[in-house]
Amino acid sequence: MNAPLNITLAQINPIVGDLAYNKGKILTYWQDAPEGTDLVLFPELAICGYPAEDLILKPFFMREIERVIGEILEASASLKSAAIIGTPWEIDSKTYNAALLIENGEILNVTAKHHLPNYGVFDERRIFARGPLPTPVSFRGTKLGIMICEDMWSSDVAAHLKSEGAEILIVPNASPYDCDKDDIRLNSAKDRACETGLPLFYVNQIGGQDELVFDGKSFVLDENATVIRQGAEFEEGLYSANEVIAGGEELAEIYGALKLGLHDYITKNGFPGVLIGLSGGVDSALTAVIAADALGPGKVHCVMMPSQYTSQDSLDDAAALAKNLDVHLGNIPITEAVEALAPTIESYVGPNAPAVTYENIQSRSRGLILMALSNAMGYMVLTTGNKSEMAVGYTTLYGDMCGGFNALKDVYKTQVYDLCSWRNAQSPVIPERIITKAPTAELKDNQTDQDTLPPYDALDDILACLIEADMGLDAIVARGHDRETVARVWKMLDRAEYKRRQAPPGVKITKRSFGRERRYPITNHFVNIVEKQGI
C-alpha cells in the first residue's frame, strides 16, 4: 500500500424516493469534505434511501436512478476526491444492491452486495439479485475491500477479500437502531478487523423512515480493532479526523431515537404539526414532550377531552404539562356526545349490554373529535398507546388507536416511566403526579389499569419473554412468574393481533417490534393448546 488514504465518512439523512434531494445532499457533503480527502464514503443505497422496498421494482424508478447517477458523474468531474455511493444498480437485467466507486466523471467499479438479509425488518431477497463474492478494488495505489452492510456480519466476505489482497475494509451501511444493536454491530466489525488484521471504515445513515430509525454512529477501526474515529448518534456529519465520540446512556439513546423517528415522519411527509389528546396520564404526557422536543412547541396542538369520569387531578396535570411545554391546549368535553350516543346504542342492544360497550363510546368519541380536528387543521394525530397496552389489547379500536403515528408503539410501560424520569432530569417539564399516580383510563369510577392487568413490572417481563425471546410457558414461570398469569398474558397477546394489524406505524426501538418483525396469524388456536396442555 502506498501512502495511507485520507478517507472521510459522510453520515447523511436521505429521504426514500426523493432522488433529487438525495443527489443534492450527496454532492454537498462530497464538496464539503476536508481538503486532502481521497475518498468520501456514503451509506448503503444513499441515492434512493433505505429501505426503498418495492419502489426498486418499478422500471421507471430505476431509469430515474440511472439519470441521477449520470448527473452525479457530471458534477464529480470537478471534484478532487472520489466517492463510494450506495445505489440500486442493474447489471445484465438484474438489480443489485450496489456500491459505485466514482471518480472524475467515471464509475471505476461496481460492487454488488453478496449476503441479502431476509429476516426481521429486512426483505432484500425479494428485491435484489445476489452478487458474487466481491474482489478488491484498486484505488490510488490501495486495494479496497468493499463489503455492503450484511456482508460484514459473516466472516466469509472479509476473509475472501483479505485472501485477494485487500488492504482496507470499506463498509457502507443502512443499519437501523434498536436498544441492543450498538454493541452487536461494533463487535461484528471488530471480529472482521481481528480476523483479517485490516483497518475497517464503517459508515451508517441516520434518520427516520416509517417505523425504522437509523442512528449513524459511523466508526473507523484500526488493524488492531480499536475504535479511532466515531460519528455522533442521530446527527448528520462528516468525519475525517481521528475522534471518538462517547456514546450516550441507554435512555438517552432511546429518547433520541423516538424524537428523530417522530420528527422525520412528520417533516418528511409534509405535515405542519401534530395533534395529541392529552389525558393527564403518563403516556400522552411523554408523547407531548417528545413531540415538542422534536418539532418545537408551536407545532404541537394538544386537546383535553374530559368526560364525567375525568378527575380534577387529570385536568390540572394536563394544564400544567401544556404550560411547561408552552404548547397549545384546547378543551372539548365529550359528555354531551356520549349522552347522545349511549341511548341510541341502548335502544338497539337493550339495557343489559356489557359495560365496556359504553366505556368505549367515550374513547371513540375522543377519536372522532381528534380526526375531525385533523381534517380541519391538517395536523397529524399521534396515538399514545405503549407496547404493553398494544401487546395485550388494552386499547380501543377507532378510539385511542385513531391516528397516523405512535412514538411509543415499541416502548414498554415501565420504559415510559423511566423515560419520563430521565427527561425530567434534563429539565423538569412533566408534573410529578403524572408519573407517580396509578395509571387509569378513567372510563368508569375508581378505575385503574391494574384492575385488568398484572402489575406493569411483571407484565413487561412476561411480554419481553414472549415477544423478543420467544420463550415457552415453563421457561417464563421459572423466572418467578405465576403460571396462570403467564398463560393469561399469552392469550391476551395472541388475541390482540387483530387490533395491532389496524394500528398506525410507530418508532422501532427493540429488536422485535410489532409489524414486519412479528408476523402472527390473527386466527390462531395454538394458545388454546398451550393453555390446555400446560406447556
What are the residue numbers of the active site? 44, 113, 149
List the grid coordinates of 214: 437509523
**Strand, coil or helix: 334:** coil
**In the beta sheet, which residues pair with residue 143?**
138
For 201, the enclosing helix (H) or strand (E) is strand 200-204
> What angle, 0 to 180 degrees and rounded to 10, lies between the N-to-C axes of helices 335-349 and 355-377?
130
Distance between CA atoms of 262 and 518, rounded to whole angstroms? Answer: 22
CA dihedral (401, 407, 411, 416) in degrees, to 10, reads -100
List the grid coordinates of 46: 444513499
**In the beta sheet, which residues pair with residue 9?**
41, 239
How are the residues of the chain apportioned to helix, strand and coil, as percentages rounded to the nearest 5? 40, 20, 40
List the grid coordinates of 276: 395529541
**In the beta sheet, which residues pair with residue 276?**
302, 382
AA letter at 134: P
Residue 476 · residue 489 · CB < 8 Å: no
Residues whose CB is less than 8 angstroms from the CB of residue 263 and which lie 6 or more positions away in sequence, other chains included? 208, 294, 295
Concatenate the DSSP letters of all residues of 64-75 into one string: HHHHHHHHHHHH
Residue 93 · residue 115 · CB < 8 Å: no
Q: How far apart, in Å, are the Cα atoms of 333 and each of 310, 355, 372, 374?
A: 10, 21, 15, 17
Distance between CA atoms of 473 and 483, rounded to whole angstroms? Answer: 7
